[in-house]
Amino acid sequence: MSAPAQPGRDTGPIRIGARRSPLAVAQAEWVADRLRALGAEVELVGIDTRGDVDRRHLTEIGGTGVFAVAVREAVLAGEVDVAVHSMKDLPTAPAPGLEIAAIPEREDPRDVLVGQRLATLTDGMVIGTGSPRRAAQLQAYARERGLQLEFRPIRGNVGTRLALVEHGEVDATVLAAAGLRRLGLLDALPSHEILDPEVLAPAAAQGALAIEIARAARPGVPELIARLDDPATRAAVTAEREFLRTLEAGCLAPVGVLARTANETGGSTDLTLAAVIGRTFLSTSAQAGSDDAPPVRIAGSAAVEQGAELGRELAGQALARLG
């Protein structure tokens, strides 16, 4: 009796779809290398998304999902077998016909201030970022120290943003440590500082990749991709995304959240979640629009199996405090 065919070896290559940006390609190559290590043949397929071709600010084109829709459509159409996403770019609602077959081990979830360090920030400096989350938290940090920063919306890939700092168009920018590490750029940066999550809480699932496949994937693909899954990362980002989903917030909301797992005595695994929500999150909030109002901070812990429940519970508490 012959052995079943293995995708990527006996039935043609595993086709990996991803955006064409340098970071997306690096992420897809990272996944491809691990599939090759499992004996699979791999082919990369570049896909243009709305977020890549529409140069308006993300707040104008509806940030959530703009980098994912075209890649997801290619999976559903059978043009690729696998989609590789930055998980923070994915909407929290499930996509019909698709499933996240693997969430590999997370990269560094923190943010990096590039061009300055916290100690060198001075009154009136211009920080280039299109992220309300980053702007809200850094402004709160600065105001606690008697500083007023200016935030200027910027767009573009990592190289474009670094060039704005290099050419003096902004004093600093903020980038995800994960992207800088995956591109091999972090250690070569000039003045920079990796920011503690207590200063700047990251976006939900920042640093994590989502490997998505069709529910009707060809035989063997789900089992192969599942071998790349990291349970600890999946538990953490599931809690973070459930927190975001319960808030009904997208990736451009001024919300930072980070969950971490730790082995406790007795062999059980605990999960802690801490979040920061900008006061402008709800237009109906009594303090919405008050730039001086500090963000809401909330934290809690639970057994790792209750991570999703923890996310929902803390989101409910946050909404009560914001209301």
Which CATH number belongs to the domain containing residue 62 in this structure?
A: 3.40.190.10
Sheet holding 296-303, edge to edge: 255-263, 269-277, 296-303
| Mode of pairing for the β-strands spanning 209-214 and 98-102 | antiparallel
3-state helix, strand, coil in the chain (%, to 5): 35, 20, 40
Is 8 a domain residue? no
Are 222 and 246 in the same domain? no
Are 101 and 170 in the same domain? no
Total domains in the chain come to 3
- Exactly one of 89, 108, 111, 171 is catalytic; name it: 89
Are 212 and 103 in the same domain? yes
Per-residue pLDDT of the chain (323 residues; tens, 9 = 90+): 444 556 655 568 999 999 989 999 999 999 999 999 999 999 999 998 655 544 445 444 444 556 788 899 999 999 999 999 999 989 998 899 999 999 999 999 999 999 999 999 999 999 999 999 999 999 999 999 999 999 999 988 899 999 999 999 999 999 999 999 999 999 999 899 999 999 999 999 999 999 999 999 999 999 999 999 999 999 999 999 999 999 987 666 899 999 999 876 566 779 999 999 987 654 433 333 345 678 999 999 999 999 999 999 999 999 998 87
| 226 vs 216: CA distance, rounded Å | 15
Active site residue 89: yes
Are 93 and 219 in the same domain? yes
